[in-house]
Chains A and B, each alone.
Chain A
């Protein structure tokens, strides 16, 4: 039972609750939920890196690769969601593995910005590719699920179910990974890399493994997003401000717990949705203002609220 801690229990309860909620949720809420799961996954990838003290300002690169890989496969006749999401995830993971050899040598702001440079190159490549619709992007056909081809509202219900199951697996997986010796090294790398080396671990290897992990989950998020929206385009998937939003969500959530990233993503979506609805002229103001408020008054993110809640109980 050494793998079952309170986080795993909590995630499992949330998983079951949401599983049932899927059948009662309003359609628009399910859609927001889907997006939150997808963006939350990318934020989870950032969390893995952040534990090592590294932040990427270019994770739209992996989000975009995941989305475009899944979407492009639908163009050549593959429609099974399992296959598409797996392919998107692996494509991003592979890229992260390759770029990791270079990026693992970098720290601090340089790491953040080199990631951004690579993501902007992907952006440029997509914009230049007229076959993929350039800035317009292209639409992704409704996926099938192992031969089951849902219609109408069932598309979103099934996709939500599908996403929920895999998000659960991925999140628990990441959580357990962070508990392993290698995973636990992250805090040590952040605090003092040289001492880590003296202990006989390679800080670069620790970072490389984490980078691949974060690329995999970001690609997963991207592939889910492509299927959920039914559309991919570079401005929504690969531009630098998309990367900024992911960091935004990570800060909103706090890096205390893997589950927090999904709450952060949900809060982000809700702020944006309501700002858009009630203040269409100043929605950026509200979004930026909320972020500032979080940074100033909730430095450890939403998760710290839950911590406080627990302390007052205890």
Chain B
């Protein structure tokens, strides 16, 4: 029975270890730099679709900011954020909300991070929001789908911002597009991954359709494949047998690509009209395999939708990105870059208001609240949720293959203004949809 009666050296060791490691202070950072943490998916299924493009987009912008080489309208604002160089700490967002909260605390309390620009998954954003507020840490979410961040989790944010529209805008834009372009549609069904984002996407699209086209029935057999399952044989059969001609889908990444291969092999896209809400992440990669004729969104004016935007800033970004990574930037690249630009804009504006001196976090926040700044392809209006939630225009179109250019191209694109697809300030997205989208300016 010896081992059961050892003294508590282990406990002493634990105490000692805790004391030794715990009492050391966080890492010291140089005074003339701003430490920007950039969490994004570097591993797992989220990496190729969102994580890596987002990292690349952020890297391009951060480098240009540090060298002072951003084109207009940022060309006269000097190097860095309010004159200080950005030290980027890029790390993996994988592992779930709990692990990310732990990592957030580590980065703040141990590595002395000054601000966060990152997080892709709604789940992580939802988990981070309360902690960011508790630790008083400026945190800019460039992506994240869920409207719950400022509608439920924190209705009165101070430190957390989101620089793109939320999922409600996607559902509304899609429904508006269907109403305008398929007025005689006989019904719709869906295939969405069985997790929060998939469920939210279907609910918002469904609610918007019920308001805009109340006579068009929804299928009661919308498909809910497990996320990352990759096998859609039975789902494709069920969709082909269903009587609804329109199929809504928020699949992304590997799931989307597998669905497209398997669906194309069975003629699904000839039989049904597909509406993909985030398929832009895969169109370049799929090339000719991407289903021409499908309705496509990119959660805003990003990626392939920004291909034709002829401004110095956008042209520069597309060229640098393409040269460096040999692929065109996709939605995630644009959205992450847009988040970093928010920091650039806010630090510079706050320094200006501060008489040229480096601003405090409170001053940066004041500068960003309610601001309108220039994103890569569209203006970003920080005018929802007390100036913490962005609204931008939204775009939906039909994917075609451009034979001359030898690449995918968006046709029949419709633009929706920010006040057309996003609920008005102070209004809950779901309530707004259920109440008939009052106050929308289309």
Contact = CB atoms under 8 A, between A and B. Distances in A.
Contacts of B199: 130, 134
Interface stretch (B12-20, B315-323, B379-387, B395-403): B12-20
Interface string A264-282: 0010011001001100110
B109 A27 contact: yes
A284 interface: yes
B7 interface: yes
Contacts of B17: 263, 266
Count chain A CB atoms within 10 A of each CB in B11, B42, B99, B108 and give the residue with the most.
Answer: B11
B103 interface: yes
A38 to B, nearest CB: 10
B194 A127 contact: yes
Interface in B85-123: 90-92, 95-99, 101-103, 105-106, 108-111, 122-123
Interface in A84-103: none
A32 B109 CA distance: 12
B26 A138 contact: no
Contact of A133 (B96, B105, B106, B196): B196
Contacts of B98: 225, 229, 231-233, 236-237
B265 interface: no
Nearest to B144: A136
Interface string A110-137: 0000000000000000011010011111
A306 B9 contact: yes
Interface string B112-154: 0000000000110011011100100000000000101000010
Contacts of A35: 102
Contact of A127 (B95, B122, B195): B195
A280 B6 contact: no
Interface stretch (A10-18, A192-200, A201-209, A210-218): A10-18
Interface string B397-434: 00000000000000000000000000000000000000
B7 A6 contact: yes
B15 A257 contact: no
A276 B43 CA distance: 12
A59 interface: no
A304 B374 CA distance: 61
A26 interface: yes
A24 B122 CA distance: 35
B98 to A, nearest CB: 3
Given A29-B18, A139-B153, A233 B123 contact: yes
A155 interface: yes
B10 interface: yes
A257 B101 contact: no
Nearest to A31: B105
Interface string A5-49: 111111111110110010011111111110100000000000000
- The A interface is mostly helix, strand or loop, or mixed, namely helix
Contacts of B110: 26, 28, 277
Contacts of B111: 277
- Assign chain A's interface to a size class: 35 or more
A139 B196 contact: no
A162 interface: no
A108 interface: no
Contact of B130 (A18, A139, A233, A281): A139
Given A7-B6, A26-B26, A128-B194, A14 B15 contact: yes
Nearest to A25: B22
B442 interface: no
B8 interface: yes
B10 A28 contact: no
A158 B98 CA distance: 20
A31 B42 CA distance: 25
A136 B18 contact: no
A307 B195 CA distance: 47
A63 to B, nearest CB: 11
A14 to B, nearest CB: 3
Interface in B176-212: 194-197, 199, 203
Nearest to A262: B14
B23 interface: yes
B25 interface: yes
Contacts of A127: 194-195
B30 interface: no
A143 B21 CA distance: 28
Contacts of B153: 138-139
Nearest to B110: A28
A204 to B, nearest CB: 24
Nearest to B91: A280
Count chain A CB atoms within 10 A of each CB in B7, B19, B92, B95 and give the residue with the most.
Answer: B7
A155 B131 CA distance: 12
A46 to B, nearest CB: 17
Contacts of A139: 126-127, 129-130, 153
B8 A281 contact: no
Contacts of B241: none
Given A7-B4, A27-B109, A135-B196, A18 B15 contact: yes
Contacts of A273: 102-103, 106
Contacts of A128: 194
Interface of A: 5-15, 17-18, 21, 24-33, 35, 127-128, 130, 133-139, 152, 155, 178-179, 225, 229-233, 235-237, 239, 256-257, 259-260, 262-263, 266, 269-270, 273, 276-277, 280-281, 283-284, 302-303, 306-307, 309-310
Interface of B: 3-15, 17-19, 21-26, 42-43, 90-92, 95-99, 101-103, 105-106, 108-111, 122-123, 126-127, 129-131, 134, 146, 148, 153, 194-197, 199, 203, 227
Given A137-B123, A257-B6, 19 more contacts: A7-B7, A13-B15, A14-B10, A25-B19, A26-B25, A28-B109, A32-B102, A136-B122, A136-B123, A136-B126, A136-B148, A139-B129, A233-B127, A256-B6, A257-B4, A263-B13, A266-B14, A306-B13, A310-B7
21 contacts: A7-B7, A10-B6, A10-B11, A12-B8, A14-B14, A25-B18, A29-B18, A29-B22, A135-B196, A136-B122, A136-B148, A139-B126, A178-B4, A229-B102, A256-B3, A257-B6, A259-B8, A273-B106, A277-B91, A306-B6, A309-B9
Q: Which 8 A-B pairs have the closest CB atoms?
A: A10-B8, A14-B11, A29-B22, A236-B98, A236-B96, A17-B15, A28-B109, A235-B96
